[in-house]
Amino acid sequence: MAKRTQKTKVEPERRIKVLVVTPEITYIPAGMGNIAPHVSAKAGGMADVSASLVKALFELGADVHVAVPHYRRMYDTSYTNREDSNQKMLREVLQGGESDNVKRVHLAESRLFNLSNRVYGHSTEECLIRSLAFQREVINSIIPEVNPDLIHCNDWMTGIIPSFARILGIRSLFTLHNIHTVETTLERIEDYEIDTSPFWANLFFTRQPWDYWESRSNNRVDLLASGIFGSHFINTVSPTFLQEIVQGYHDFIPYHVREEIKNKYYHGCAEGILNAPDPEYNPQKDTALVKTYTARTHVKSKRLNKVEFQKVMGLKENPEAPLLFWPSRLDPIQKGPQLLTDILYQIIHEYWNEGLQVAFVADGSFRAYILDIIRQHGFEDRIAIHPFSEELSHLGYAASDYILMPSKFEPCGLPQMIGPLYGSLPIVHNTGGIHDTVTHIDTTAGTGNGFVFNNHDSQGLKWAIDQAMIFHSLPSNVKSVQISRIMNEAKKSFNHSVTAQSYIKLYEKMMDRKLVPDFRQA
């Protein structure tokens, strides 16, 4: 596991005004304004990471601001077309957002966001439209209002902003949470009232542009590559994933995206900063559990949570049964559920006498295959699947003995860090952020925190599950000592306050570098 240092308060004279631009955020920390309790828009891990980072930065004393779309319906569940007294009151709060006489939460306004009940659209086209509307407001309204020293952008939905920031002489950091991208044209961008003429040359085109007019309609702009190309620094959300990209490990990454990342890396403008779970993942305080616990008291409490989880999921209620938990989306491109379905019958049959169970709290395209296996073999009390639920997922971590994470690639990953916090040991493929956070357990040496396989195939996963079952058969006192150790180590290592310190150090490094505001002047 990556070693962490203790957090330190940011000295006032060293404060950098940072604007974090994100399309999603789970929450805004208390103290950042009256609006904070109302803002919550989550589609995936970026929302958790953004929330945790902003919270940690704010608590460390950083001068942090947030730009996020104004999803009125999500921020106010009673939203209707009729403005009653409660709605009027909320509207007044949303127009405020003052904290210590500083407005820190900045909402991007657009009718595209008003009635939306989800962060992203149902199609790539809808996502692109929302992205352009969001970036228009950030560029035209929020950046002039905040006047930041540094802008921290996240993924392709913010990919135009670093190129714009250059002409203002504002440093920008672009964080890659994933490698998904979308292409469009200058003409389409300008349809959304973003004047690209001052900074078009700082964007990344799919072919060499001759001039603005030649490229305006006929040369496509890659938004992810533009974020990488236009920013002063980039970071991935784990050190190993950055190295894998630079070394050409993943053939699914577009060539031009990989080359731009390599260019940043070899010029000393790319780093890997490991994410960490949100502080809400704490078995000692988690309200989703039937019995909270610590590393010292985990044995009895995990059994109680297991029985409750089994009851909810429709599994056979047996606190002795080894329980494997799948916490990630069922995505065969990245997450590897096909590795598990290939051997699902085999492991249930092989460990039948032990009572092995597998539980999925997840959505995704591979859901149908799992349901077929359950029905075909009558495994209803051994295998269970439930649509994703935040509360049930928390209970799953507390109830399970092991989590399954056979990802083909993993920019960071959070479940393999959350599991050990709850005493659920990860069974994982050795890649990306998983490599940075999970090492194979050695009970004799008292090291490691999970079960790691190197070959990304079903037999590699089967080997790791077998290793977990060997561990499970050890005397209970031996297991409990190791699980307690792993829980304590995880609590010290997977700490988002320390992640925030890494970002602050990177911000300071960026501020110390000589600034080249525009590539045309470079």
Give the confidence band of 391 by pLDDT, cuts at 50, 70, 90: very high
Confidence grade of residue 324 (pLDDT, cut at 50, 70, 90): very high
178-181-183 Cα angle (round to 5): 170
- Given a cut of 50, whether residue 129 has pLDDT beyond it is yes
pLDDT at 513: 83
- The encoded tokens of residue 432 equal 């990306």
What is the model's pLDDT at position 82?
38
Sequence-ordered list of residues with C-beta below 8 angstroms from that of 70, at least 6 positions apart, any chain: 94, 107, 108, 109, 110, 113, 114
Cα separations in angstroms, 499 against 334, 417, 467: 25, 14, 32
pLDDT score recorded for residue 101: 59
Pairing assessment for the beta strands 171-176 and 233-236 based on DSSP bridges: parallel
Under a CB-based contact definition with an 8 Å cutoff, are residues 310 and 358 in contact? no
Which of 26-35, 86-95, 157-166 ranks highest by mean pLDDT?
Answer: 157-166
| Per-residue pLDDT at 47 | 85
pLDDT at 97: 43
- The two beta strands, 98-99 and 102-103, are antiparallel
**What digits encode the pLDDT tens for the residues 430-480?**
999 999 999 999 999 999 999 999 999 999 999 999 999 999 999 999 999
Say what the pLDDT of residue 9 is: 54
The continuous run of DSSP H or E covering 118 comes out as none
pLDDT score for 73: 81
Residue-level pLDDT at 221: 97
pLDDT reading at 169 higher than 60: yes
CA separation for the pair 124, 122 (Å, rounded): 7
pLDDT of residue 14: 56
Q: pLDDT band at 37, cuts 50/70/90?
A: confident
pLDDT at 1: 53
pLDDT at 522: 37
Q: How many CB atoms lie within 10 A of CB 514?
A: 4
What is the predicted pLDDT for the residue at 477?
95
Mean pLDDT of 311-327: 97
For the segment 479-521, what is each residue's pLDDT rounded down to a tens digit? 999 999 999 999 998 887 778 889 989 999 999 987 765 554 4
Q: What is the mean pLDDT of the chain?
A: 90
What pLDDT, on a 0 to 100 scale, did the predictor assign at position 85? 42
Q: How many CA atoms lie within 13 A of 363 on its CB side?
A: 6
Name the more confident of 97 and 284: 284
User: How does residue 117 score in pLDDT terms, banded at 50, 70 and 90?
Assistant: confident
Task: Using a pLDDT cut of 90, give the percent of the chain over it.
Answer: 73
Distance separating alpha carbons of residues 200 and 177, to the nearest angstrom: 25
What's the whole-number mean pLDDT along residues 244-265? Answer: 94
Given a cut of 90, whether residue 86 has pLDDT beyond it is no
Averaged pLDDT for residues 44-66: 87
Helix-strand-coil percent breakdown of the chain, rounded to 5? 45, 15, 40
Confidence (pTM)? 0.87
Closest CA to 358 of 384, 340, 335, 378: 384
* pLDDT score at 83: 42
Residue with more model confidence, 171 or 112: 171
Are 298 and 490 contacting, i.e. CB atoms less than 8 angstroms apart?
no
CA distance 67 to 177: 18
Q: Which residues contact 500 (CB under 8 A, 6 or more apart)?
A: 7, 53, 56, 57, 60, 62
Structure confidence by residue, pLDDT tens digits, 173-187: 999 998 899 999 999
CA angle at 517 for the pair 515 and 518, rounded to the nearest 5°: 140
Q: Over range 283-295, report the average pLDDT.
A: 98
- pLDDT tops 80 at residue 115: no
User: Above 50 in pLDDT, residue 323?
Assistant: yes
pLDDT in tens, 326-378: 998 999 999 999 999 999 999 999 999 999 999 999 999 899 999 999 999 99
pLDDT, residue 199, reads 96
